Amino acid sequence: MEGERNVSAHATAQCPESGIGSSDHATMATDKVETSDDGKAEKRMTIENPLDALPKDKGWAWMCLVGGFFVNIIVAGGCFKSFGIIFTAVQDKYQASSAAISKIPAILLAIALGISAPTNWLATRFGTRRIVICGGLLTTTGFLLSAVAEALPVLYLTYGVFVGVGLGLSYAPTVVAVGQYFNKKRATANGLSFAGSGFGAFFIPSLIRFSLDTYGLNGALLLMAGMSLNICVCGMLFRPPQFYMQRYMRRQNRKKTAAKETEKINKLAVDDANKPETDANISSNQDAGANPVDSTDALQEVQLSDYLETEDAKNKQKVLSKPHVARRKLEVRCG
């Protein structure tokens, strides 16, 4: 078998949100055409874009929508819009001016929204699930460290940088991932996903206000840390394209194997149907002329018997025509 493996090197550029990198595309892309020794081209199954194997508008796509909905509740509806609830408590704790305190949400939003492009590249390279889970863990760590921060500059780092990077890693890939699983219903899916931000803005600030009045600033930050940890649960709902790629390949291989087995069974059935007729023809041929030696001997015997009968008839005719010769032979034999 002669042929060359044609790996789709440009698949990453065509599919920037696929959740896998260039090395994964090299693994996923298979041979397009292989030329055999007799010059025949054999086509093999290829999938240039792993997103083609995703269940579009059905099945697990709705679970991805659920994950995107809750990520928007926590990130856009809760963390982005909740700092105003604890603004006064932070100012009282650190005895800082409003300008100094307002730098915290400014740093958070600038980082979270500014790293969207690098975050999508990371999601393409390492997968949406991994990036979203890392973002949830980093956000939780930032809130936990903010609860024990003793100085305002430390809060800039923990609340502004750590939480901002974590929210950025969680938010942008989620928006892209929901669109990957929908085609005809993509507009509806995106609308439902973004509706989570409004739903979260409706009740999460009230929950933070209640925890702030009941447990204080540290208790509210711990509550926000626990809430942010659910981002990891939502991230688990985003199945990578490799999962469906492997299932698709196995399913296609099973179909191909079943087709070959069916073709083999049909061929055997046709051969069995033609076998009795073939056997009958062979047996008749054997009876007619399969043993040429026996038939030749029989023919020679028939010819010999005909010859002897003919000779006997000739001899009888000679004896009848010459009776004195016959009497002389008889006398010789008797004497």
Domain membership flag for residue 170: yes
Domain membership flag for residue 209: yes
Q: Are 170 and 142 in contact (CB under 8 A)?
A: no
Domain membership flag for residue 158: yes
d(CA 141, CA 149): 12
**Domain extent for 72:** 55-238
Tokens matching residue 43: 């086509």
Domain membership flag for residue 324: no
Domain membership flag for residue 144: yes
Domain membership flag for residue 247: no
For the domain that residue 179 is a member of, what is the CATH number?
1.20.1250.20
pTM of the predicted model as reported, rounded to 2 decimal places: 0.60
Domain membership flag for residue 200: yes
Walk along the chain (335 residues) and give the pLDDT tens digit of each residue. Answer: 444 444 333 333 334 344 444 333 433 444 444 444 444 444 444 455 555 556 677 778 888 899 999 999 999 888 888 898 999 999 999 999 999 999 999 999 999 999 988 998 998 888 889 999 999 999 999 999 999 998 999 999 999 999 999 999 999 899 888 888 888 888 888 899 899 888 888 889 899 999 999 999 999 999 999 999 999 999 998 887 776 676 667 777 777 888 887 887 877 777 767 665 555 555 555 555 545 445 555 555 666 666 666 766 666 666 556 555 555 655 555 55
Number of domains in the chain: 1
Domain membership flag for residue 219: yes
d(CA 85, CA 21): 41
